[in-house]
Structure 1
């Protein structure tokens, strides 16, 4: 029987496979592959958990954003209402101020008119007295002056009693 190189290669292959089975290499490979599969499964589970957590956080932040937008809108609306109230109040105060100033001006004008009328009356009285005095002086003599004097004293006595 002649053994050629193919036979020896076959025997070497059988011995190599026997050695691999004897050293339990397929079990170690299976164990290694199982460990790697478990590791990948754990990583997938962790990734899924992180994804769910991220989605939960996203939903929470979206809710917070909506709440913040609603609060901002209510703050803007309140500020607009307050601005309108302040504007109305300022307008009312301005109208009241103009009314008071107008009334005060009218009162000052009336007072100035009254002062002017009194001044004219006083000047007219002074002028009338001066005219009467000059007329009396021109038309009266000593007896008429004494009679007027006696009459005035009599009126003063009658009013005092």
Structure 2
């Protein structure tokens, strides 16, 4: 293939269209063709085509190596992506479990707080009922004491009016006897 391309490059097509003797230094087409052939000869002598081809081959091998490396990197990136996606799913599942656990714990704490509040309300109601009952007892006791005081005062007034000295001495003696009998 390379040889065919080299031969086709050596055939000067425009030189065939010139008029007059072709092999004359006066004919520009001949001079151009001769210069072109010399140029191609110099290129072939210094092996420029093979150097260019080897450079292109090296470049192609470099590109192939880069492509292979890119494929390897792509596979590695896909592996990493799959790993990160798997980790993300695991983290998401763990986050979901944490949220569910937190909700359950919050629900339990809410129910505990409600129960504690109900017990507190019940204790306060019981304390309030006890205070009300105590206040009622105190009020009843105060009314009784006041009634007793009024009754004693009234009895004193009545006894003062009805009591004379002899009768008072007799009552005192009877009271002393009663107390003495009860104490012994």
Query: Taking structure 1 as the reference length, what is the TM-score of the superposition?
Result: 0.83
* Stretches of structure 2 lacking an aligned partner (at least 5 in a row): 1-20
Summarize the Cα distance change of 1:143–1:49 in structure 2 as closer, same or farther, 3 Å threshold: same
Give the aligned partner of residue 111 of structure 1.
134
Q: Larger relative contact order (C-alpha < 8 A, sep ≥ 6)?
A: 2
Summarize the Cα distance change of 1:155–1:45 in structure 2 as closer, same or farther, 3 Å threshold: same
Distance in structure 2 (CA, Å) of the matches to 1:10 and 1:154:
173
Secondary structure in 1 matching 2:176? helix
Which is richer in helix?
1
TM-fit CA distance, 1:137: 2.2
Give the aligned partner of residue 132 of structure 1.
155
TM-fit CA distance, 1:28: 2.4
Distance in structure 2 (CA, Å) of the matches to 1:7 and 1:152:
175
Give the aligned partner of residue 122 of structure 1.
145
TM-fit CA distance, 1:117: 0.9
Distance in structure 1 (CA, Å) of the matches to 2:32 and 2:151:
164
Summarize the Cα distance change of 1:4–1:91 in structure 2 as closer, same or farther, 3 Å threshold: same
Matched, 1:52 2:75: yes
Secondary structure in 2 matching 1:4? coil
In the comparison of the two structures, how many residue pairs are matched?
160
Summarize the Cα distance change of 1:42–1:140 in structure 2 as closer, same or farther, 3 Å threshold: same
TM-fit CA distance, 1:49: 1.1
Summarize the Cα distance change of 1:14–1:135 in structure 2 as closer, same or farther, 3 Å threshold: closer
Query: Taking structure 2 as the reference length, what is the TM-score of the superposition?
Result: 0.74
Q: Deviations over 1:20-67 (max 9, x none)?
A: 444434432332222122111111111111111111121122122212
Give the aligned partner of residue 4 of structure 1.
23
Give the aligned partner of residue 58 of structure 2.
35
Distance in structure 1 (CA, Å) of the matches to 2:41 and 2:165:
179
Q: Deviations over 1:105-136 (max 9, x none)?
A: 11111111111111111111111212222222
* Stretches of structure 1 lacking an aligned partner (at least 5 in a row): none
